[in-house]
Amino acid sequence: MTKPLSAAERAFVAGAIDGAIDLNDLSDETRAAMKAGGLSVTTLGKIADTDTRIDTFEEVRNLYSTLEKFPSSQRAQLEQALLAEFRRHEVPPLEEKDALTLSPTDAARFGERHLDVPAVNQFSLDADPKVANKMCYQAALAQLERFFSDGGKKVPSLSGKDGRIQVATSEVASGRVTVETTAAGLARAYIDACLDAGRPVLVGVSASSVASAQVNEGITEHFVTMCGKGVDEQGRAYYEFRDPGNLGDLGRFYVDPGTGKLFKPGKTAADGVRYARDMQYEVSQVRRYRDMP
């Protein structure tokens, strides 16, 4: 079980969790502070692992543990410098108020589509909760496959990992992602085409409480099944999905007008979030159908 955060550690994590430290892009001020405080880039590299970034929740906690070993006078200066470095690579939070709002003309053009995708609870797939906790991909895929088979249709095959549309290029400790805007546009266009053709879409997301470099491409930690789109009463475009981590219940992604990325507002690891319904999601990749490249 993960050790609870102390008040001091929580304050440090809160200041760092929306950003990252990139060892290949340290400011001159940070380098000077590290030299004065006796903290080497090599030490940071051991925390960052092979991707040369301190950008996961556990890495932020490991950094805090490392700083605790320094005398208080040095530690305070190092914390200040490193938190400033996290802020240099900050990915701001997104809320419903930040979502793309459409004009009546654009809303009509965007349209509405809802597919009757069956719900699959990933925790029903294995008696061992630890095993089931890692079966989101299988459950999201099962939702997609059952949609076709229940309708008496042949289940189309999906491309492998190499055929995905990779939207996110990096992730910070909170799970928020930086996206390649062209890829984000391609992903939305592909999702629209699939939904308009009556096909649900398997998508990967970055999830706020489980940021880790150990799964998939190092950004995606969860999978859901996109099953609809529409415009809400406030004029915001949304995409509907079934979440196997939340009993297969429905959720909504909104569109960030600045980057084009799809996001579900929610809490981060620093908030102590435990359940999928409360988690922040941001779409990181889209899996293509083989017959719809």
* CA dist., res. 39 & res. 196, Å (int): 55
Per-residue model confidence (pLDDT) at position 211: 47
CA distances from 1 to 9, 56, 279 (A): 17, 17, 19
- Looking at residue 270, its pLDDT comes to 64
Model pLDDT, residue 218: 81
Sign, Cα dihedral of 69, 73, 79, 85: negative
**Nearest by Cα to 101 from 234, 275, 207, 12:** 234
| 187-241 per-position pLDDT tens digit | 999 999 999 999 999 999 998 645 455 577 888 989 999 999 999 999 999 999 9
Q: What is the pTM of this model?
A: 0.88
Task: State how beta strands 168-171 and 165-166 pair.
Answer: unpaired
**Amino acid 51: pLDDT:** 84
pLDDT of amino acid 273: 74
Cβ–Cβ under 8 Å, residues 174 and 269: yes
184-192 contacts: CB < 8 A, separation 24 or more? Answer: 184/259, 184/260, 184/261, 184/262, 185/260, 187/262, 187/283, 187/285, 187/286, 188/255, 188/260, 188/262, 190/165, 190/286, 190/288, 190/292, 191/226, 191/229, 191/239, 191/286, 192/229
pLDDT tens-digit profile, the chain (293 residues): 456 778 889 899 989 989 999 999 999 999 999 999 999 999 999 999 888 999 888 899 999 999 999 999 899 999 999 999 999 999 988 999 999 999 999 999 999 999 999 999 999 999 999 999 999 999 999 999 999 999 999 999 999 888 999 999 988 888 899 999 999 999 999 999 999 999 999 999 998 645 455 577 888 989 999 999 999 999 999 999 999 999 999 999 999 999 999 999 998 766 777 788 889 999 999 999 999 98
If we measure between CA atoms, which residue out of 36, 136, 146 comes closest to residue 82?
Answer: 36
Q: Find tokens 């001020």 and name the residue.
A: 29
Q: Give me the pLDDT at residue 116, please.
A: 97
> What pLDDT score was predicted for residue 269?
64
First and final C-alpha spacing in the chain: 43
> 3-state class of 106 per DSSP?
helix
Amino acid at 215: V
Residues in CB range of 115: below 8 A, 6 or more apart: 147, 195, 198, 199, 200, 227, 228
Pairwise CA distance, residues 147 & 155, whole Å: 9
Q: How far apart are alpha carbons 236 and 199 in whole angstroms? A: 22
